[in-house]
Amino acid sequence: MTSTSLFVPSGSRLLRSGFLLPVLLVAIVAILVVAPLARIVLSTLTPEGMAAWKAVLASPLSANLWWRPLFNTMILGFSVASGCLIIGGFLAWLVVLTDVPGRRLIGMMAMLPYMIPSFAAALAWGTLFRNSRLGGSAGFFETSGLAIPDWLAWGLIPTAIVLIAHYYSLAYTIIAAALSSVGADLVEAGQMAGAKRPRIFFGIILPVVTPALIAATSLTFAGAVANFAAPALLGLPVRMQTLSTRLFGMIETGQNERGFVIALLLIAVSALFLFLSDRLVSGRKAFITVTGKGGRTKRFPLGAWRWPLFAVAAAIGLLTTIVPVLVLAASSLAPQSGALFSNWTLHFWIGEGGGEMAQGQAGIFRNPVLLDAIWSTIRLGLVVAFTTMLLGLALAYTIVQRRGSLLATLLSQLAFLPLLVPSIAFAAAYIALFGAPIGPFPSLYGTFVLLVIAASAHNLPFAVQSGRSVLGQISADIEESARLTGAGLIRRLFAIIFPLAIRGLFAGAILVFVKMVRDLSLVVLLFTATSPVLSMVAYRYAAEGFMQFANAITLVILVVCLAASFLAHSLQNRVQKWKES
């Protein structure tokens, strides 16, 4: 039954949906994922490409093009990964395994930073810590008479801090999920053996969650390595280059081949670490907890430490969620970017142009480019969310149905390939493929369509994963009992699978939407000035020194993201009434 993929189908069988769907999916995945990556490799094998390889790796330029950015990237990767592990792990431990007060609140605050784009934190940092070394207006602290040294205003350290503030919530999510899978029984069995708390922690809990710790490390590492916004905003002004900003600079100045070479190297660096961590995890035995009575977890009393630890956790939460948002809001109202809390005006939001302020530019809600950008951003988010989840569900269904077959293995391997590719490098690959007309098709560069295709491809791993988890919630029995009534595939899909899966699909779609709305590193290469998205506009304003505008737009992005999450939350219960409790 599962080996149909090895069978050469006859004409009539080819038309059956059982065959058409997988074949179609293989084609789609090949075009979305394999073609761009193959193309970018091929483009660097041309004579120009070979010259670019030489320039990047073995020429007087290579220190600037490759070694120094690589060094910066690695430092960022390691410091961010370890920072995230410490903060995310600490919060996860506190929320899942202790009786700290306000556990739900801390848990919620620890999830939020991931919803906030990393450039929001970077902009907020700049607003507070910017010093006058580079000219332009100084930040809040320096204006208030506090001298800010260069290392705290620009470069590696602020970039790392901002990235940790963003990615620790990813680490938190992964570690918290793993910790809550450590059943109370496992801990109690240790207690029965007479082990004390430290012994139980180091002997049982830590080893069981080690795979999650490794996963969290490698994912935050990959995230930091691939991030574009933070190093671009906080590093570029002092010429601190990472691989992603170098890549952007090359493509932007038309040195495409060199850009492609750097993109490939960036992919190699990121993939190498993800691969190594994967080996590390799978080298150990898979620690699936063996049976269990459900989600009961053991909470340890903290005693006198309850409130001090709560204060630490709450401070982390506030500094990474509320404070940046407040800073951005205050800055978008303050005419002097250093004096955050005086002379507030709505000029940057709704002011008419032509005055003294902001070199005569109008407020963002009077700016037609920006209004356009809002709509194209939302449109992009919606379209990509839809295409991604549809594709993800179809792929997951095929992979699950044909588990063990060659086809399923191929599909799942290909669908997870984009995980290894940093988004800015992925964008470079799409430029390599679609930057020029292919046969009868026109060049897609700079179009909405290209962005949708690239984004769908980039979100494929997430989509397949959430599709699988959605389908995993529907037991095979349910589907089979529907099949026994004689209902066909389509009928089953709409009558059984869809209603049961809608909640999970919806949650997945919202996440994709939010990811798209706050994304900068994928769109930064693929969009042209004529049809921008919000994050691009904010980045451009920030690059030109109009901090208030950039901050205001970032707030708009935040509001859209939060509204989407809130909407998802409140809609979820209505969609599946039988789950109301």
Partner 1 sequence: MNAIATGAANAIQIRNLVKRFGTFTAVKDVDLSVPAGSFLVLVGPSGCGKSTLLRMLAGLESPSEGEIAFVGQTVSSGAGGVIADAGRRNAGLVFQSYALWPHMTVAGNIAWPLKVAKWPREKRAKRVAEVLALLGIDVLAERYPAEISGGQQQRVAIARTIAPEPSILLFDEPLSNLDAKLRIEMRSELMRIHRATGATSVYVTHDQVEAMTMATHVAVLNNGRVEQFGRPIDLLRNPETSFVATFLGTPPANLLPVRRVGENLVFGETVLAPSSLAAGRDAVQLLYRAEDVGVGVVPGVPTLVARFAEAAPIAGRTMVTATIDDLRVTGMADGYFSAIPGEPVALSFIRTPDAVFATTGERIHQ
Note the residues at the interface with partner 1 (CB under 8 A): 183, 185-186, 188-196, 199, 203-204, 207-208, 210, 284-293
Smallest distance, partner 1 to C-beta of residue 186, A: 5
Which of 195, 487 has the CB closer to partner 1? Answer: 195
Minimal CA–CA distance to 53: which of 206, 223, 217, 259?
A: 259
Q: Among residues 295 and 368, whose Cβ is nearest to partner 1?
A: 295
Nearer to partner 1, 216 or 557 (CB): 216
Looking at beta carbons only, is 188 or 352 nearer to partner 1?
188
Nearer to partner 1, 8 or 192 (CB): 192
Instruction: Return the number of the residue (99 or 188) whose C-beta is nearest partner 1.
Output: 188
- 98 DSSP β-pair partners: 300
Handedness of CA 18, 21, 22, 27 (dihedral sign): positive
Give phi and psi for 300, each to the nearest 5.
Answer: -95, 140
Shortest Å distance, C-beta 215 to partner 1: 15
DSSP 520: -
Separation CA 326–CA 330 (nearest Å): 6
Residue closer to partner 1 by CB (options 254, 294) is 294
- Which tokens go with 4? 């149909």
Q: For residue 35, which amino acid is it? A: A
CB of 192 to partner 1, least distance (A): 5
Bridge partner residues of 300 (DSSP): 98
Closest to partner 1 by CB, 290 vs 484, is: 290
Structure tokens belonging to residue 562: 């939060």
**For residue 297, is it left (φ>0), alpha (ψ between -120 and 50) or beta?**
beta
| Sign of the CA dihedral running 191, 193, 197, 203 | negative
Rounded Cα–Cα distance for residues 489 and 407 (Å): 19
For 57, the enclosing helix (H) or strand (E) is helix 47-57
Exposure string over 377-407, b if 16+ CB within 10 A, otherwise e: bbebbbbbbebbbebbbbbbbbbbbbeebeb
CB of 298 to partner 1, least distance (A): 9
Q: How far is the CB of 180 from partner 1 (least distance, A)?
A: 15
Whole-number Å distance between alpha carbons of 174 and 89: 9
Q: Which of 258, 247, 253 is nearest to 48 (CA)?
A: 258
Of the two residues 208 and 425, which places its CB atom closer to partner 1 in the complex? Answer: 208
3-state secondary structure of 98: strand
Q: Which is nearer to partner 1, 199 or 379 (CB)?
A: 199
How far apart are CB 221 and partner 1 at their closest, in Å? Answer: 24
The least distance separating partner 1 from the CB of residue 294, rounded to whole angstroms, comes to 9
Whichever of 147 and 286 has its CB closer to partner 1, that residue is 286
Q: How far is the CB of 207 from partner 1 (least distance, A)?
A: 4
Give residues with Cβ within 8 angstroms of 506, minimum separation 6: 568, 571, 572, 575
Q: Which residue is listed with tokens 């706050």?
A: 518
Backbone angles phi, psi at 98, to 5 degrees: -125, 170
Place of tokens 């209505």: 574
| CB nearer partner 1, residue 210 or residue 409 | 210
Least Å distance, CB 9 to partner 1, is: 38
Handedness of CA 13, 18, 24, 30 (dihedral sign): negative
* Burial (CB count within 10 angstroms: exposed 0-12, middle 13-18, buried 19+), residue 11: exposed
**CB of residue 473 to partner 1, shortest distance in Å:** 22
Residue whose entry in the numeric block shows the structure tokens 């690959």: 429
Let me know if 437 is exposed, middle or buried by CB neighbors in 10 A (0-12, 13-18, 19+). Answer: exposed
Residue number with CB closer to partner 1 (287 or 445): 287
- Closest approach of partner 1 to the CB of residue 122, in Å: 39
User: Least Å distance between CB 208 and partner 1?
Assistant: 5
Joined tokens for residue 368: 């037609």
Q: List the end-to-end C-alpha distance of the chain, in Å, as a whole number.
A: 41
> Min. distance of Cβ 581 from partner 1 in angstroms?
19
The nearer residue to partner 1, 183 or 381, going by C-beta atoms, is: 183
Closest separation between CB of residue 259 and partner 1, Å? 45
Q: How far apart are CA 446 and CA 449, in angstroms?
A: 9
Strands (E), 98-212: none
Cβ atoms of 524 and 228 closer than 8 Å? yes
Structure tokens of 106? 């801390």
- As measured in angstroms, the least distance from the Cβ of 580 to partner 1 is 24
Question: Nearest Cα to 231, choosing from 405, 68, 429, 41?
Answer: 68
User: Cβ closer to partner 1: 271 or 302?
Assistant: 302
